[in-house]
């Protein structure tokens, strides 16, 4: 099996878009940091992400538990067909790193990698929001991402350092091989009535705190709607 490989690195500033006079919700003003450009030179990776990278919604994006968003480049073959948009390609999801030889079935919570001079650790799957849907004008895109399992995942940064693209990254530790990103997505989105699984996943020490909170709410019988996250202002 080939070593996990960081194919491309992307960073970007928050971008303002939309028309304040628009009637269609998909055309109204919005802002996002998902429009990123490839970085080919060496770049600093700190506790909150790459130098110069920005997020618009700091409540739901960014921060130490979502310092680096990784997405497998192979998934774009699927999205080109599913969305009938042949131009969609690496970087389109707003990812920071486009990866090869890694996916939701081979990456686990707590996986720790040497990435250049930095050390990074898998913290949680990505829960897609309404912004990719706005970008590609496909209203149910977030649901499609969620239901396909092709979500990508986040890393926290354990040790800061300089990194560069087109390098292998070395797996240093795998404390929770049972909790692949795919398994976590299934607990969160498919087996929502299985409280035993929710309890087991919530007990995973290296799972991000916001995922633990959501699962613990479920265990207390407090469920929340996903409508705001997946459709947001894209619907009237």
For 225, the domain range is 5-234
Report pLDDT for 1.
67
The whole model's pTM is what?
0.96
Among the listed residues 96, 52, 90, the one whose alpha carbon sits nearest the alpha carbon of residue 73: 90
Label residue 94 left, alpha or beta by phi (over 0 means left) and psi (-120 to 50 means alpha).
left
**35-44 pLDDT, tens digit each:** 999 999 999 9
Q: Quote the mean pLDDT of the chain.
A: 95
* Residue 182: its H or E element: helix 181-185
Q: CATH no. for residue 65? A: 2.40.33.20
- pLDDT range class, residue 45, cuts 50, 70, 90: very high
pLDDT at 18 over 70: yes
CA pair distance 207, 204, nearest whole angstrom: 6
- pLDDT range class, residue 75, cuts 50, 70, 90: very high
pLDDT at 185 over 70: yes
pLDDT at 110 over 80: yes
pLDDT at 177 over 70: yes
- pLDDT range class, residue 196, cuts 50, 70, 90: very high
Q: Is 120 exposed, middle or buried (0-12, 13-18, 19+ CB in 10 A)?
A: buried
Q: Is 140 exposed, middle or buried (0-12, 13-18, 19+ CB in 10 A)?
A: middle
When divided into structural domains, the chain yields a total of 1
**Residue 77 structure tokens:** 């073959």
Selected residue with higher pLDDT from 224 and 96: 96
**21-35 pLDDT, tens digit each:** 999 999 999 999 999
DSSP assignment of 109-144 equals: TT-EEEETTEEEEEEEE----SHHHHHHT-TTHHHH
DSSP assignment of 45-99 equals: EETTEETT---S-TTTS-SGGGSEEEEETTHHHHHHHHTT-TT--TTTT--SEEE
Contact assessment for residue 50 and residue 96, using Cβ atoms and an 8 Å cutoff: yes
- pLDDT range class, residue 2, cuts 50, 70, 90: confident
- pLDDT range class, residue 175, cuts 50, 70, 90: very high
Phi, psi at residue 70, to the nearest 5°?
Answer: -110, 140
Report pLDDT for 57.
82
pLDDT at 224 over 80: no
Report pLDDT for 114.
98
């Amino acid at each position: 099996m080939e070593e996990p490989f960081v194919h491309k690195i992307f960073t970007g500033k928050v971008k303002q878009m939309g028309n304040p006079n628009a009637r269609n919700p998909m055309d109204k003003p919005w802002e996002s940091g998902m429009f990123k450009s490839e970085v080919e030179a060496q770049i600093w990776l700190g506790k909150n992400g790459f130098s110069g990278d920005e997020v618009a919604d700091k409540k739901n994006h960014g921060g130490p538990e979502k310092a680096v968003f990784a997405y497998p480049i192979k998934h774009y073959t699927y999205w080109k067909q599913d969305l009938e948009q042949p131009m969609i390609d690496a970087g389109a999801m707003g990812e920071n790193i486009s990866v090869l030889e890694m996916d939701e079935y081979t990456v686990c919570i707590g996986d720790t990698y040497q990435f250049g001079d930095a050390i990074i650790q898998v913290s949680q799957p990505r829960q897609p929001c309404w912004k990719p849907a706005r970008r590609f004008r496909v209203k149910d895109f977030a649901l499609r991402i969620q239901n396909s399992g092709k979500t990508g995942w986040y890393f926290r940064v354990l040790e800061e350092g300089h990194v560069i693209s087109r390098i292998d990254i070395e797996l240093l530790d795998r404390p929770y091989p049972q909790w692949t990103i795919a398994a976590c997505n299934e607990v969160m989105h498919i087996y929502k009535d299985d409280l035993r699984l929710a309890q087991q996943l919530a007990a995973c020490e290296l799972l991000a705190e916001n995922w633990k909170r959501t699962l613990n709410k479920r265990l207390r019988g407090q469920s929340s709607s996903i409508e705001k996250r997946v459709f947001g202002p894209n619907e009237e």
